[in-house]
Every structure is written in structure tokens, then in C-alpha cells.
Chain A
Amino acid sequence: MTLIRAFVFLALGAWLSGLAFSQNGVQTPSESFTIHVSGQKTWGIQVGFGDPTLLSLEGLTPGELTLAQSLWAQIEGKVLDFLTLKASFNDQLGPGFQDFLVIVDRKPWYAELGRFVVGAEGDALGVYNKKVLGARVKVGRENLGLSALLARLEGISESLVFRGTTGHAEVVFPYEAPVQPWLPAPYLTSVEGLFFLELRWPFVEGFSAAALALRTDQAFSRFLANWGLDYLREIAEKNATITLASSAYLIIEDEASVLLLRQEPNVLLRNRVYELIDLYNAAQGLSGANKKSYPFVEGSELEDAFLSGLAEFAEVRVDQEPYPLRDARRHRYLGLGETKIVEDSLLVEVRLPGETEFRSLTDPALSAYAVRLFPAQGVLRLDFPAEFFRAGAALRVNFDYTREGGTFFLGLSLIPGSERVYLNGQLLTRNTDYSIDYEAGLLTLFVSVGPADEVRVDFERQRGGLGVPTEYERYFLGASLEWDQGALGVWQAADVGSPSPTSRTMPNTHSLAVFSWQGKLGDWTYALRLGFSQNVFPLDDNARLPGLNRINAIVSVRTADGDALVFAHQNGITVYRNGRFSAYGSAEGLAGRAALSLLPLPLRLLIGTDSGLTVVELSEPGAFDRVRSWTRLYPEDWNKERPDKIQGTRVLALAQDGTQVYMATEAELLVIPISSLTKPKDWFRQPLPPGTPTVLLWAQELYLGSTEGLFRWGASGWERLGVPGPVYALLQHNRELLVAGEEGIRVLRDGVGAGWLAYGSAVWSLAVWLDRVWYTAPTGVYREGEQVLTGNFTVLGVGMNGLWAGTRADTHYQLDLWRVAPEVQRFPQAQTAIDGRDLGQFSDPRAEEHTRVGPTASLALSRKKDDWELVLSFFSRFPGYEEIGTSSRSDSHGLSFTARFLGDPALSLSLRGQAGLADLTSQPSLRLSGGVEGQWKGPFTLNFSLSPTWRKLAERAQLSSDFQVGAKAGSNPAWNLSMAGRFTAPGVYLAGTIRGELSYQPWPDLSLSAVWSRPYRSEGSAGTENLTLRGRLVGGQEYAWAISWEESFSHPLGRPEWTSSRMVSGELRLARLQFGAGKLAPRFSATATYTPAEWRLSGTAVTDVEVSSHRLNLQVTLGQGFRPATERTDRAFSLSFSWFASAWPNVEPRLTYTRSWKILLHPRYAPQVSEDQALEARVGFNFEKGRNEIVLSWSPGSGLQLLGRLRYDWGFGPLIWETSATWKGQKISGKSELEAAFTLAPQWGLNLRGGLLFGASPLRAAAYVGATLAANF
């Protein structure tokens, strides 16, 4: 920032206007150049010494040179009369914010190179205003034109619509997580809703507060000790209660005050334990490896048990009233994520468990389902039957919410200049009607937007970076040929690149050809258009196929809690214990994504993964769920402190002989003493035999199976045994070595072949159960030749009194586990929660199955006859036809006509009709529509429109018609009466609004108005009827006064009672009073408002006093409000005083002081008084070559601040000395900086600066110096 300030200063001090120069060309000396280049280049250097914390405020590190450069430039000009160059660069911004365009315009040629906008290339682009980087060439001769384009698409088109001051949202609340349905939905969007507590006393804003407390009694100490956290006892007792942040909960006024938890109770408690551990570490001064850490794997069964126990000691306290956390319930309130919901806009749909479609809440089958909205807080109360809250249930809520201000957030990284902003269809102009920050994506409108206005913003967002994440770069190319009445265009937008193994999407290629012809046929003008598009891997159908997960290994381990079975698969491991399956992956401690091999050791488990080795200590209860049980050893850890580097990364096979572990990677065999499992510097490297290792077995000797065969490790190295590869499994049984391979199971005795146990089919794995050999083959599980199970089994394992088998997922990503013996039992995916997808590798789907092709054709005929203009059109568009840049795939065929009457200026009338078929290939629907609209201008203006539509979809036909009729007239009185709505049949439904407005000004000082609106709806709640009356009376001669009155009445239709709110305000400005040499100008204002929720009175008195050259301003404000619902009263009083004098030459003193008090009163609570004050004294001294300004300010919150700024122009440039000091909370800090600017030459400036920084308590200081050289051009 300081450098930027220096640059700005230099720019102001030594700015030169843009350089314009002219010189002769190299090859064509007779032709001129005009290139305008303007900009600035700077080089900066800074260095600081002293306290690092103080220097970090200046972006400096002690003793380290900080170098900076910046450049911005604008270039525009013409070369040789046909070459135009436009460029704009700023090297502080990314590539998306640089502009560069070269235009060659020499007839018949026209070319553009650089960044330009496309969108008018025939009918190829569905979205206009695409910013691209590339080249475009056009050549034209007589009636023939040819153009070509090759460009890289810079952004992705988006369009956002904002309706006036409202935004629209759709939220779906499922029961299960959408992508992983075996997991519950995220807390805030779960249909189970927020946990809530009903409060026994009203929650009074400003008085009440919520806190989370732990009951730290003896039982709590025992609980901590049982979980090994007794070190937290003392710190928990000292910090037993913490105030909940207001963002952690919501309060709504239902039958009583209700507190809704925005965080799940388990998360609240987990965070509380994290905080206590942090406090303990800070209190004990622990750091690095000595720091205590959260001991549980988040989300694990063990953590769940711990937090459930902790919840017994936790309570939410509201005004000291305790509410046990375990009493919090769900299934009633949903948070919509927005506040200030527009009640009439709410649309709730329900998906019942077991169904696939959503039903509207008005469905007769849902008569037991009711909702109630709390619009201010954005909370929806559900009164649903308890049986609804089950797997498969979901709720979809559509609603509008009130936005505030004229700023619209469009998202980050917009492409500069790509936006088009429309207000009610009218295009707005940048910097006149709006401004836009492309990096931050903020649009600010300068025009006011009414509640009914529509703001539409079309724009492009950068591909990549902070914009839209993309896996491929996208190019757009094509050519068009135009002649006389016809044109032919061929275009293609294509993603470039090949998918990586982990790419989730396929590259898209969208090609399109359009032919058009137009001409005259008798009195008719015609236009014919034919098009064809092919879209390979369109954006909504480009997902790559995840690999199929598979069980790679099954072992049994003994833990402190008893036996457990471990299943290794492509997404981690799954542990089966106590009848439950739990999943562990890289987030929990696995050194890789896929678990490839397992090796159980006494109270330890080794897991070989695709990128390292994991050791799990099993000696503690709940070992898998404790963070400290897991040790990750990645290849970079293997190589620490090793002179010879281990080459492999994937742990393919593991074995052990009681003292050593053998670990085969793709590059070598590692021999690991069991005592040095986590000390890789003690590991030994050995070479591998030919092939990639597949299996290791220790059976008095070490055997290794690979893709090339079977090998035995001996004194002279690896010895090949007579078994060809690949070898899939090894097993020692009854002194025989069984080798599973491509041909079956070979039996070796003492290394010599002794027959086949199975022959003729590949065998993947082997196991012995009850002294019999079991194996898996491609067709199923076998017991010594007898098929026991059919299926795609991959591996067998023995444990927990049974023989287990794992499978490979089928093409529907279903993956099961089986207990094969003693009884066959299937464990489906719903029980094991093992994802059937292998998310580490994806394969390409077939392009022909993900390609959409389709044609389109249209013919338009038009002519004029007498007073009528007639247009006829025929069109057909198949669903595969898509324009480049859009995702719309409408399938429509039909004809239409439009007739306009042009014969009478006072009457406008148009008739239109259309008959069409839509979705011909999927769900054919017939649609007939028509319309008549007109306007008649006489003594008053009459508008009318009627647009009936008849649709038939499958066996259902529906008639609907929008209609509107209205009349308006006059200026005083002025009135407007309208009725608009929609009619649908069958199931006759009529809805709309009748609206009337009247405004009248009986004499100039009095204006009156009334606005009335009444909705109507033949079924359901119609809405709210509103009537607003306004009056304003102004008067006065030497003084001025005004009184305003507004009375609003509203009532929901169906309920007889009206609610009213009113506001009365008045203002009085007295004439200026003269007294001696002074003048006094007092003014007063007062406002009274009444709404059902709050009554409020406020008044302000302001006086401006001028005496000689002194000006005083005094302001007093009083206010009182009352909220009947909570019986809370607030009173506010504020004073402000300011003085300014111009009595002394070259001295400008100014003093400002404000003070305010606020008192909250409630019958049940003690009064709460808060106050605030601020003082600022400022003196400015002007002298011949400069100015000095001293500012002293104070407020209780920010302490005392002193700022002095001296600016002196010493001829070469300005000298600025700025000193500041702050005293806050017994701490003082300050900064003094001297900055000098020199103009070295017409284009050159130098800025030198140096500063001192200091702070007290503790005492510290730092200094820095820097220089910036700037070239302006």
C-alpha cells in the first residue's frame, strides 16, 4: 500500500501527458505513424530493520530487500493507414485483464488479431458478446464475402436476473447427502432441520444472551479422565461457560421464544474441546510436537461416543436459565439461508420417502402436512408427520427474498467489458448507469430500481483462476461464406486437451452449420434458414466414468476392543467390528487414496497404499478412531536422512517373518526391521526380480509373485521357480506352496511342481478355512473345485470366526461384502457404506452414446396489405440442435402468424397465433396459443391484452390465459385502475390482482394519494389486501414547515381483522435570527411511527450559529421505541457539537464532539445503559510552499490518536512528513515517515522514503527506507 501511495504521489507530482510521437516507417517512408502511448513504469526497493511484527505492517521482513516493479500502459494508434493497434496492459493484474488488438483494414481485407468480441457470426453463437483471444479475417469482393475465425474462448457465459429489490432462491432439503446417499445430508440443508430448544422465558433482544456451559463437577472430571483428557479439567473449570456467537444460533418467536442452533450440537461440543485444548497449550506454553491435539478422528464412532457423553454435561444457558443440550430436538424448523422472505412467494414441495417426484403442498394427499414461515429470520416451521423423516424424504422450497441496496454480487473474476446490463429490457451504459468491479464481481447501479423492476446481467466469467474451474481450454473456430442472398457458416467450439486419469469430464466438441437464403416471391418477402448441429459430450452429458472399486485385501486384526476385520479397497479401508462398518481414508490418516495391501502385526496394522505406507497402532481402545494411532509414511518421509534414495512410491505387497517386514514397491523390495517401522533410515533396499510385484509370502523363505512369475529369495538373490506369471496369490498349506495364477492353482513342494489343485481358469486369491482350500475365480468362490458362490469376487480373508470375500463393483457401482462360511451372508452396500466408485481413476465413455445431433429449419414470409402487416412463419427444431454457447435444447415444430393494424394512430391492435408441437421425440405436447392486444387513446387511455394458450401433454390438456385490462387518465386528479391475472382450466383456477391509484393536489401545498391493491385467487390463500393513504402539507413564508402522514392498512384475505401502521412526521425551519454580529438558524423535526411490532417516537433539533468568522453547529436527538412482543423499551439521546473558524489567516481550526446514550428498559431486567463519544480537534496551517495539519482524535473504543502531516514544496518536488501515534489500552504505538519526491527529468521521477515505527508494552522499534524510480511516458 505504501508503494502504491508513493506511485500515486509521483504520478501527481511528475505526471506528463501521454506521449504522442510520429515517425516514418521503415519500408514506406511516405506514410505516417501515429501511436499514442501513455503509462508509467516504476522500480521500487525497500528494506527494513528492527521488530518483525512492526515491519510486517509495512509488508517488510527484517534485513530482506523487497523489490517491486509495476507497469501500466495504454497504446492506441494507426500505422501505415491500415494497421490499427489498441492495447492496455497492467502487469499487476492477471492475463484476463490485459487487452491487445491489432486491426488490419485494407480493402478487400479486414483482420483482427488479439482480444476481440464475437457474437454476430451468423446463428452459431447463442450468446452474444463472447470475449476471445485469437484472429479473425474477412475478405470481400463484390457480392462475395468470406470470413474465418480462430480464437480461444476466454470465459463462460452466465446470466443473472434480479427482480427489483428481491432475489430468488431455491433450496432443496434432502434426508441423505445427494452424492453419497449412505451419509446423512449436511446439517444446515438436512430435511431433519435445525436442533432447537424452546425457551421458558422470552428472549429479549439487547438483554438476553445465549451461552454454552459445561457442568464441571466430579462426574465431569471422571468423564475426562476416562477419555484420557484429564489434563483439561482445570482449564475447563476456569472456562466452563462461553457466550455463543450470535452467528451460532437464531431466535424466533413461535408459541414461545425458540432458540435454533446453526451448528450441530456435536460440532459445538467438538469446537469447545478444540478451544479448551488451545487454551491449555497456550497456558502451558506448549508448541510443536509437545502440543496437545484433538485425539479423535472426526466423525468416527469413537468420537461420537465421546461427544454423546460430553453432551450430558453441556447445556445452553439463556439468561442463566439452563437448557440441557441433550434436550435439543429436530424435525420442526428449517433455515432457508436468506432473511426477509417475501411471504407470498413461498412455494413448498414435498418428496415423500419412497417416491421420486416432488408434490406441491396443496396436494390432497398431504393434508397432514403444514408449514409456517417466519419471514424476517428466514425460517420455515414444519408440522409434518413423524414418519416423513426417513430415508428418501426431501423438501424443495422456492422463495423470493428482499435484497438491500443497489449493489449486485455477480461472483468473482468477470471478463472486463463482457457485461450487458438491462433494466426492464433497456440496455444500460457503463459509468453512466452503473459501475462494475470485474475482479470482485460487484455491479453498482446508479439508477434507482423499484420493487417490480427486472435487472438482467449477461456476462462472462474467466475460465480458471478464481473464475469457473475448467479442465480444458476451449477454442472457437469457423468460417462463413456470403453471397448475394445466401450465406453458409460452419463453426466449432472445442475443448482442447486429453483427460488426465483423474479428470471428471470429457472434452466437448460442438459443431454447427447454418445455411440461410432470403429473397422476394411476388408480394411476399421470404427468409429460409437450415441448420444442423452435432454436440459431442455436451456440458450436461460429459461425465467420465469412475473406475470400479474393488476389495484388494482382507485381514483380521486384534485390537484392544477385540477382533476386527479390515477390508482394503480403492478408496481406503473399511473396518468391521461390533457389527458395524466404519470407513477410513486419507482424511483420517491413510497415506494415500487407495489401500493396496494389508499386513497385521501384533497390535499393529500396516497398510500399503498407492502413495505410501500407514502404520496403525492398535493397542488403545478405539484405536482406529484416535488420531495418534495413525502414522503416515510418504515416500518423502522414507527418504529423509537417507543417503541412498528409495525409488518406489506404491506399496504393492507386504509380508513379515516375525522380525522383519518385507515391502514390495514398483521399484524395489524394502526390508524393514519391525522395531524400525517408523524409522525409514533403518530400512534396507533390495532389488526386485523381473515384473511388477503382485504378492509376497514368508513361508520359511521369502516368495514373491510378480507379473513375470514366481521367485524365491536366496543367498544369491532372487531365484526363479518354474511358475509363469502373472502370479495373483500365494498360500502355504500343509507344507505345500499354492500359487494362484492365470491357469489355476499350481502346487509346489520344496520349490518343485507337484501338480495342480485347480486348472483351466484364472484364480485371484486363496484362503484356508477349516483345513480346506478356498479360492476365487472369475466366476465365483470355490471350495476345492466346488462352486459355493457366483459373482465377481476379488479376494478372500479369514477372521472373526468366518471366511470372508470381497468383490469388484458391478457396472451399477454396487459392491458387496460376503461372509462365505460358516453360513453365507451378504453385506450390501447400504450396510458397508463402501462407495462402488473408484474416485481415483476414470475412464472415457463412448462418444457416440453422448453425442446429440439435430437439424433445424425455418421459413418466414411477410407482406403488407392495406392497413395490415402480415407475417407468417414455419419452424422446426429438433432436440439435438443446439446453438454454441447455450444449453437450451427446445424441441419445437409449428407455424405462427402475426397481424398488425396500422390504419389509425389512436388505435393500435395486433393479433397473433401459433400452433406448435414440442418435445416430439420424448414427451410430445401440442400447444395452441394466440393473443390480442391493443391500446386506445381518447379522453382516457384504455389498454387490454388477452393471450390464451391451450396445451396438451400426454392425456392432459390445459387451457390458460393471461389477461390484463386497465384505464388511466389525467394529471390532477390522476387515476389508474387495472386488473390483471391468469385463468387456467380444467380445475378452474383464477388468480390476479386488482389495483387502483388516485392522486390529487387540491392546492399546491397539499398533495394526497391513495393506493389500493387486492389479490384474488380462486383456490388457496390469495395473499394480502393493502391500502395506503398519504398526505403532505407544506407552508410558511419566512419560516417553512411540512407535515406528512401515511396510513397503511393490510389484511390477509380470509381473515377479517385489518392491521394498520402509520407514520406522522413534521419539520419546521425557522427564519434566520440576527443578533449583534451573529446569525442563528434553528430547525426542528419529529417523527412518530406505529407498527404492530414497534412504536417509535423521535425528534431532532439543530441549530447553526454564525458569529463573525466562527461557525457552530449544535444538534440534539431524542428517541424512544417500544416493542410490545417483548415489552422492551429503548431510549436514545445524542448530542453533537462542531466549531470551525476562519478568523485567522492561514490557520484553520476545527473541533467536533459527539456523545450519545442508549438505555434499554424491561420489566424483568435491570436497565442497560450504553454510551459512546468521540472527539476530534484538527488544526491546519497554510504557508507559502506547503501545509501542515495536526489532528487529535479520541474515542473510548479506538483510544487517543495523533496525526501530523507536513507537506512542503521545495522546488524539486514535494516533501511530506507524516507522523502518527496511537495510545490505546495502555499501549502506545507510532510511526513517523518522511517522503521526498524529485523530478529528475521530464519523464523521470524519484521518490525516497524512510520511516520509524515504534511500539511500547513491550518496547520495540523498527526502521525502513525505500526508493521508487518512475518513468512516465
Chain B
Amino acid sequence: MRFLLVILGIFGLWGRGATVDVPLDLARSAQAWCLLGVDLALPDLATNPGGLPFAASWHLCSTFSSTFGVVRVWAISLSTQGFGAEAVLVDGGEIGPNLHYRVWAGRAGAGLRLGQFGLGGQVRVLRPEQPKALLGGALDLGFFWAGPVYVGILAESLVSFSPYPHEGWPPDLSLAAAWRGDLGGFSGTVGVGFMDLLSLPAWALAGALDFGSVELRLGLRATALSLGGSVESSWFALDWVFTLHPALPLSFRVSFTLR
């Protein structure tokens, strides 16, 4: 029961419905978590396969979080120009007498650049290991436009087979737009996103201000406010985010990125 509350709590923070792809959403990096979905329209992040061809360099990002000491999420993602992949392990430990919860998840995507446009696809795989070994997967398509503003569209689960016999993995659609430019003398990004339009529609606003080695970020949606940032060196970056919710406890995560 406590485990379910934690899962639901996390998704209250994130503002999304708890569907079968929970493990993949739990594994989002601190940067993506802070941007609350607007990251679909950013080429530096692997959340939209359509944006992968626009990535400037390779990133190896790892995230670990332990929510209330109950759910441990282990994630590593690699993205480079045109290609991205991610491996996730969600381990809930013992959630009842002789009952464990442990799920592996993976994601692999590739994209092509056509001028200002990017088109990509990704496969998401869910492999619940405990309490019962199951397998499921979904195919997503992503679109990206790098014009005066960045636009990202992600159509999820266009083809899917749910690992859980009595629970579907329905299609969904999310889109986001972001603008990058000069903000008060600094490089900045502002964006808006509309997520899960076919199931539980939600909006988000996000912004980031880049001071060179330091970037500060802010995300806002109806159910959450996120404050985060990052510091970068020549070979790594640290990203962090605090998420405030009107009714749920504070949450936190930190990611380490090599590049």
C-alpha cells in the first residue's frame, strides 16, 4: 500500500496519470523533470526521438533516486546525434509478504534530420521481473522543428502491447514549443508544453537562464512548481531539481551527465 502511495505521489508531482509506462517516467533526468515536459522541444534531451538529430554532442546521463527510501530508480541514458538509448531499473523491494516489485525498462530511438525538420522513432520496452515476469513494448514517433522556435511533438504508443493482460497501453500525444535567445543579456530558454492530450491533458511552462557554467531552471504546471539548475565543467554536468506540490511532500533528484 505504501508503495502504491509513493508511486501515485510521484505522479502527482509529475502531474501525469499512472499508466503502465510509469518506470520510464520515473527515470527522467533532473533536467527533464524540472522542465515538466517542455523538454520535448529541446534538442539536447533524448525525450523526443525527433530531436535526436539536432543534438550537439553525446551525453551519458545517469540518475538515481530513492523516494522515501521505498522505490529506488536506477537509470542511464546515452544520446548522440541521431541516436538515443536508455536503461532503467525500478526496484520497490518487498512490497508485501514474499512480494517484490522490480521492473526493467528500456528505450532506444533514432532520428533523421531533414533541414529544419527532424523525424524519429523510438521503441520502449517494459520487462516486469517481479512479482511476475512479463514483457511489453510500444512504438513512438517524434517530430521536431528547429525554426525560430523549437517545436516537438511526440506520439506515444502508436503500436503497443501492454505487459499487463488486463491493462492497456493506449496511445497519447504531447507537444511542446520552446524559444531560445537573449534574456536580459543572458542566454535563455522559455517554453510551453501540452502533455497527454488524449488521456489526462496537462499544460506546463518552463524556463531556463544560462550563465555559462551555471544554468537556473524553473518549471510550472497546475500541480507542481519545480526549481532546478545545473553546473557544468568541461567533461561533466550536475543537474538538480526540487519539486514543490501544494499537497504532496517536497521531492528532489540529481543527475550526473558525462559528455
Contacts and interface: CB of A to CB of B under 8 A. Distances in A.
B246 A497 contact: yes
B28 interface: no
Contacts of B134: none
A66 to B, nearest CB: 9
Interface stretch (A91-99, A1040-1048, A1140-1148): A91-99
A464 B182 CA distance: 41
B249 interface: yes
Contacts of A102: 216, 229
Given A26-B187, A37-B231, A473-B245, A89 B238 contact: yes
Contact of A25 (B211, B235, B250): B211
B231 to A, nearest CB: 6
A73 B246 contact: no
Contact of B249 (A23, A35, A37, A95): A95
A1150 B236 CA distance: 49
Interface in B85-142: 89, 102
A528 interface: no
A718 B68 CA distance: 51
Interface in B193-212: 210-212
Interface in B57-103: 62-66, 68-69, 74, 76, 89, 102
Nearest to B183: A27
A479 to B, nearest CB: 19
A89 B240 contact: yes
Contact of B74 (A21, A69, A79, A1271): A69
Interface stretch (B16-24, B46-54, B169-177, B251-259): B251-259
Contact of A1273 (B64, B216, B233, B253): B233
A25 B250 CA distance: 32
A69 B253 CA distance: 13
B186 interface: yes
Contact of B251 (A91, A95, A154, A498): A95
A27 B238 contact: no
Given A37-B233, A102-B229, A91 B65 contact: yes
A98 B66 contact: no
A67 interface: yes
A133 B244 contact: yes
B211 A473 contact: no
Contact of A33 (B187, B212, B250, B256): B212
Nearest to B185: A27
Contacts of A67: 74, 89
Contacts of B258: 1271
A473 B247 contact: yes
A79 B213 contact: yes
Contact of B246 (A85, A114, A473, A645): A473
Contacts of B240: 87, 89, 98, 100
Interface in A1-33: 19, 21, 23-28, 33
Most chain B Cβ neighbours within 10 Å, of A19, A94, A496: A94
B212 A26 contact: yes
B62 A69 contact: yes
A465 B65 CA distance: 16
A41 B256 contact: yes
A23 B254 contact: no
Contacts of A374: none
A1096 to B, nearest CB: 49
Contacts of B251: 95
A95 B214 contact: no
A545 to B, nearest CB: 21
Contacts of A71: 64, 238, 254, 256
B242 A35 contact: no
A597 to B, nearest CB: 26
Contacts of B64: 68-71, 91
Contact of B247 (A65, A70, A465, A472): A472
Contacts, number: 130
Given A70-B64, A89-B240, A473-B245, A133 B250 contact: yes
B246 A75 contact: no
Interface string B141-176: 000000000000000000000000010000000000
A1271 B236 contact: yes
A329 B135 CA distance: 65
B247 A497 contact: yes
A95 B233 contact: no
Given A24-B212, A28-B185, A69-B62, A37 B247 contact: no
Given A92-B66, A113-B227, A497-B247, A98 B212 contact: no
Contacts of B242: 95, 98, 100, 133
Given A21-B233, A27-B186, A1273-B233, A75 B74 contact: no
Nearest to A104: B216
A95 B243 CA distance: 10
A25 B233 contact: no
A240 interface: no
A852 interface: no
B66 A152 contact: no
Interface in A491-539: 496-498
Contacts of B68: 94, 465
A942 interface: no
Given A71-B254, A89-B240, A35 B231 contact: yes
A298 to B, nearest CB: 20
Given A85-B231, A91-B64, A1273-B236, A33 B213 contact: yes
Given A100-B242, A473-B247, A1273-B236, A35 B214 contact: yes
Contacts of A77: 214
B216 A91 contact: no
A112 to B, nearest CB: 12
Nearest to B67: A94
B249 to A, nearest CB: 4
A1201 B244 CA distance: 52
B253 A91 contact: yes
A328 interface: no
B248 interface: yes
B70 to A, nearest CB: 11
Contacts of A464: 249
A79 B235 CA distance: 19
A68 B256 CA distance: 14
A21 B62 contact: no
A465 B62 CA distance: 26
A73 B250 contact: no
Contacts of B216: 102, 113
Nearest to A87: B240
B6 to A, nearest CB: 11
Contact of A463 (B214, B245, B249): B249
B72 to A, nearest CB: 9
A799 B242 CA distance: 62
Nearest to B62: A69
Nearest to B182: A27
Nearest to B216: A102
Contact of B248 (A69, A96, A473): A473
A33 B245 CA distance: 33
Nearest to A89: B254
B98 to A, nearest CB: 11
Contacts of B210: 26
Given A98-B242, A472-B247, A114 B227 contact: yes
Contacts of B227: 100, 113-114, 133
A79 B212 contact: yes
B212 A25 contact: yes
Contacts of B102: 64
18 contacts: A23-B212, A26-B187, A26-B211, A26-B212, A28-B185, A33-B213, A35-B213, A37-B238, A79-B212, A79-B213, A83-B211, A95-B249, A95-B251, A98-B254, A100-B227, A113-B216, A472-B247, A496-B246
Given A21-B233, A65-B89, 6 more contacts: A33-B214, A35-B231, A37-B231, A37-B233, A41-B256, A1271-B256
The 5 closest A-B pairs by CB, nearest first: A69-B64, A95-B252, A497-B247, A25-B212, A496-B246
